[in-house]
Amino acid sequence: MTKRRSPTETISPNIITTTHINIGEITIDTEKLEAQVTINITVKPTDEPQLFGIVLKFVGIFSYVSDYSPEAVKEFLQNGSLSIILPFARELLLSLCTRLQLPLIVLPLIQFAPPPDEPDTRE
């Protein structure tokens, strides 16, 4: 994380940022039945000069039972691990912004699955 500003310089509370969330390296240990995924999050202001930049890297370590194939575990890590790790990332980012006296930056909510079809209740 970098913060570049003089003590007299203030950052507008209406600052617009760009956020990049990427799933990084995935490793699966079939002997220990453990899998690991890295999630990289970068937040930067869109306007120049960029007075701050935040880079977070999370590592999720998951255990699984032998009933699951490595392909199924990899699919979960690619599609489901973000929904588990993102709330922790959101909390950490808000905490950092508060402590560093930056405008509050909230990670976007991401819809991981389409909503279920609602049954037709008309008769």
Instruction: Give me the CATH number covering residue 33.
Output: 3.10.420.10
Residue 61 belongs to a domain: yes
Expressed as residue numbers, the domain containing 59 is: 16-99
Length of the chain equals: 123
Residue 110 belongs to a domain: no
On whether the pTM is more than 0.85, the answer is no
Taking Cα atoms as reference points, which of 70, 83, 72 lies closest to residue 113? Answer: 83
Distance CA 117, CA 123 (A): 17
Residue 11 belongs to a domain: no
Confidence of residue 17 (pLDDT cuts 50, 70, 90): confident
Residue 111 belongs to a domain: no
90: part of which helix (H) or strand (E)? Answer: helix 81-99
Residue 5 belongs to a domain: no
Q: Give me the mean pLDDT over the 55-65 stretch.
A: 96
Number of separate domains in the chain: 1
Residue 83 belongs to a domain: yes
Lowest mean pLDDT among 52-66, 70-84, 105-119: 105-119
Residue 107 belongs to a domain: no
Confidence of residue 3 (pLDDT cuts 50, 70, 90): low
